[in-house]
């Protein structure tokens, strides 16, 4: 069964360093998302992406964050200068359409620890 | 404003017991979708079910069943004859139909942590 894959599964980085989280969405999907989950808290929407541009972003997704689809398969989330509060599980997701009834499929997550 | 409430933070049951996880939602839209996801200890989010606001039929899938009641804005999830492998955090989520097009996102509850003990 097709799945969303994410790398790395776990990354430890020093505060102030840049981090890139990578994702390979399901191949026939057109809409891509990043969500995050701080330990013990709810899952939060960060950004949605379609046709090589951001469709919507939350207030969490400030200038320190960026997304990119550098080629036909990868979808990346970059955090320019990490802060301690960026420590979280970051989930990439994809769907065939943005229709609100369409299921979003999630990857296994990338656990980011900022020290 | 949209909101999803899962009032049960943690539930602990003994194997083979039935357990119901509650989900109450708030939305102003008449068209919306509700989801349940499972997050096992390994951390991934596993899709379980999607239900649209026009379909109030209950659904059963093996040991899992869902009860959607628009009158009480609830979408509860029951596991029958629970097993240790059901131990996970279960999230209820809402997506509004008025945001069709490019701007679709899920609004999540805080999750219910289910522990099934042998």
> Which residue in B105, B111, B113 has the most chain A C-beta atoms within 10 A of its own C-beta, making it the best mutation to test that interface?
B105
- The string of pLDDT tens digits covering residues B54-99 is 888 888 889 999 999 999 999 999 999 999 999 999 999 998 765 4
pLDDT at B100: 46
- pLDDT of B57 reads 80
What's the pLDDT at A30? 87
For A30, the closest chain B residue by CA position comes to B102
* Structure-block tokens of residue A11: 């990354």
pLDDT score at B102? 40
Cα A94 versus chain centre, distance:
10
**Over the stretch B6-49, which tens digit does the pLDDT of each residue have?**
999 999 999 999 999 999 999 988 888 899 999 998 888 999 99
Is the sign of the CA dihedral A51, A10, B44, A46 positive or negative? negative
Q: Both tokens of residue A21? A: 């989280």
Residue of B nearest to A105 (CA): B47
- Strand duo A10-13 + A110-114: pairing: parallel
Beta-bridged to residue B75, according to DSSP, are B68
Residue A28 contacts B where some CB pair is shorter than 8 Å: no
Q: How confident is the model at residue A23 (pLDDT cuts 50, 70, 90)?
A: very high
Helix (H, G, I), strand (E, B) or coil at B84: helix
Q: Closest CB to B105: pick one of A41, A56, A101.
A: A56
Interface test with A, best of B43, B46, B68, B111 (most A CBs within 10 A): B43
Closest to A103 (Cβ–Cβ): which among B47, B105, B107? B47
d(CA B72, CA B92): 15
Closest CA to A37 of A75, A78, A91, A76: A91
Degrees (nearest 5) of the Cα angle A44, A50, A56? 40
Place of tokens 């701080």: A38
Distance CA B79, CA B66 (A): 9
pLDDT score of A100: 57
The distance of A2 to chain B (nearest Cα, Å) reads: 13
């Amino acid at each position: 069964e097709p799945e969303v894959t994410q790398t790395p599964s776990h990354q430890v980085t020093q505060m102030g360093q840049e981090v890139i989280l990578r994702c390979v969405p399901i191949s026939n999907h057109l809409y891509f998302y990043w969500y995050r989950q701080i330990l013990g808290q709810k899952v939060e929407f960060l950004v949605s992406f379609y046709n090589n541009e951001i469709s919507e972003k939350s207030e969490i997704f400030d200038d320190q964050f960026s997304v990119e689809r550098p080629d036909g398969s990868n979808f990346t989330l970059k955090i320019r200068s990490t802060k301690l509060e960026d420590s979280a599980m970051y989930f990439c997701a994809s769907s065939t359409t943005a229709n609100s009834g369409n299921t979003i499929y999630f990857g296994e997550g990338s656990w980011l620890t900022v020290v | 404003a949209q909101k999803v409430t899962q009032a049960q933070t943690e539930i602990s049951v003994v194997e083979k017991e039935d357990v119901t996880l509650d989900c109450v939602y708030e939305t102003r839209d008449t068209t919306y979708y509700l989801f349940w996801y499972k997050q096992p200890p390994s951390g991934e989010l596993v899709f379980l079910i999607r239900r649209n606001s026009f379909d109030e039929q209950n659904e059963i899938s093996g040991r899992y069943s869902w009860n959607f009641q628009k009158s009480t804005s609830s979408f509860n999830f029951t596991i029958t004859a629970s097993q240790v492998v059901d131990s996970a955090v279960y999230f209820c989520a809402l997506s509004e139909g008025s945001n069709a097009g490019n701007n679709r996102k899920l609004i999540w509850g805080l999750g219910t942590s289910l522990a099934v003990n042998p």
